[in-house]
Structure 1
Amino acid sequence: MHIFLFRPRTVCASLFAAALLAGCAAPSAPPAPKPEPPRCQAAAAGEMLVGNWLSVRKQKGVAGELRTLFTLHPDGTMAYTEQLKRGKQPSQGLAEAGCWEHDQQTLILRTLESNGAPVSLDDPIYTNRYQIISATDKALSLKDADGTAVTARRMSPGYRLPF
């Protein structure tokens, strides 16, 4: 028995097992704190863009009609809902929430949540800039980064897209 305990293979295996157990018992570093999401800035008093804006359009390469509802709140928060209507098939949708701001002739939408899940704040796809072509109390004409025209009409407070 004495010879079995001191064999080199047994000693190496025992040392390896002890090192493995010691490594598992070592405390791990605490997880890094999650960064705080940006705080939305309230819109200026009397801001014309505050409200619900509905755009209905067809897009090349997309079968069906795209309905987009921008809900811009006075506190700087926004909801962006897009729905694809295709005949008798059920609608497909996207619901985003975040912040908005009006900077000179640009409407900036920053998504913080998409379909209820937090997004990567570093991903540029979640920041959309629209050039404001014209804005009245009833209609809003925008151009997105690709140059696509977006025409929206003001809807009543509380308006939601139908299913």
Structure 2
Amino acid sequence: MNQVLFRTSRAVVYLALGVAAAGCAVKSNKPAPGAAGAPAQVQCQAAKAGDTAVGNWYGVRTQRGVAGQLHVLIRLKADGTMSYEEQLKRGKKPSQNLSETGCWQHEQQTLVLRTLKSNGEKVESDDPIYSNRYTIGSQTQTAMVLDGPQGQLRARRMPDGYRLPF
């Protein structure tokens, strides 16, 4: 009986030590406030006065390997902030939505969108997946053609307050 109790006690001690060691080994991914390795807060830069890209741009496109149509609404504000909404419509199936916010820049014939939040959650701003570059193929006051990582988007200017259709 004493031998069984000794083995059980020893097992409990080893288990407790293992749990304590695991607790000490867990490292937080969040840097301490003010830590040198903390990512810098991204500041959006205002667009140049009269930038013709400022506005709401809506387009519908298809993407290879994706069944259905993607309805895209890009809001480019004069203060340098942006929102990107994408809605996948597939017949009678429920729509799937993506909503991103962040900053934008207009560099010659390139539009750069940097996502800071995706579906309301902060993203890793240094991850290249959250920075998208679109070549502006053509632009008028009412239409813009963007060539981007997922293909071409022909967008038209929409009024303030426009929302994606359901």
Q: Which residue of 2 aligns with 1:156?
A: 159
Using the TM superposition, give the Cα deviation of residue 63 of structure 1 relative to its aligned residue in structure 2, in angstroms. 1.1
Using the TM superposition, give the Cα deviation of residue 31 of structure 1 relative to its aligned residue in structure 2, in angstroms. 4.9
Unaligned runs of 5+ in 2: 1-12, 25-29
Using the TM superposition, give the Cα deviation of residue 122 of structure 1 relative to its aligned residue in structure 2, in angstroms. 1.5
Task: Give yes or no for contact 1:57–1:65 (8 Å, CA) kept in 2.
Answer: yes
**Distance (whole Å) between structure 2 residues aligned to residue 42 and residue 75 of structure 1:** 4
**Distance (whole Å) between structure 2 residues aligned to residue 71 and residue 37 of structure 1:** 22
Task: Give yes or no for contact 2:133–2:149 (8 Å, CA) kept in 1.
Answer: yes
Q: Which residue of 2 aligns with 1:82?
A: 86
TM-score by length of 2: 0.76
Q: Which residue of 1 aligns with 2:97?
A: 93
Secondary structure of the residue aligned to 1:100 is strand
Structure-to-structure mapping, 1:24-63, within 5 angstroms: 31-33=31-33, 34-63=38-67
1:32 partner letter = A
Q: Which residue of 1 aligns with 2:4?
A: none
Task: Give yes or no for contact 2:61–2:152 (8 Å, CA) kept in 1.
Answer: no
**Distance (whole Å) between structure 2 residues aligned to residue 149 and residue 70 of structure 1:** 14
**Distance (whole Å) between structure 2 residues aligned to residue 83 and residue 145 of structure 1:** 17
**Distance (whole Å) between structure 2 residues aligned to residue 31 and residue 40 of structure 1:** 23
Secondary structure of the residue aligned to 1:80 is strand
Per-residue CA distance 1:70-125 (angstroms, 9 max, x = gap): 00000000000000011111110000000000001100000000000000112100
TM-score by length of 1: 0.78
Using the TM superposition, give the Cα deviation of residue 162 of structure 1 relative to its aligned residue in structure 2, in angstroms. 1.9
Per-residue CA distance 1:32-56 (angstroms, 9 max, x = gap): 2253431000001111000000110
**Distance (whole Å) between structure 2 residues aligned to residue 96 and residue 36 of structure 1:** 20
**Distance (whole Å) between structure 2 residues aligned to residue 67 and residue 50 of structure 1:** 19
Q: Which residue of 2 aligns with 1:10?
A: none
Give the aligned length.
Answer: 137
Flag the 1:31–1:139 CA change in 2: closer, same or farther, 3 A: closer
Stretch moving more, 124-133 or 55-64: 55-64
What CA RMSD, in Å, does the superposition of the two structures yield over aligned residues?
A: 2.0
- Structure 1 vs Structure 2: percent identity of aligned residues? 59
Unaligned runs of 5+ in 1: 1-12, 25-29
**Distance (whole Å) between structure 1 residues aligned to residue 79 and residue 45 of structure 2:** 7
**Distance (whole Å) between structure 1 residues aligned to residue 45 and residue 145 of structure 2:** 23
Flag the 1:40–1:31 CA change in 2: closer, same or farther, 3 A: closer
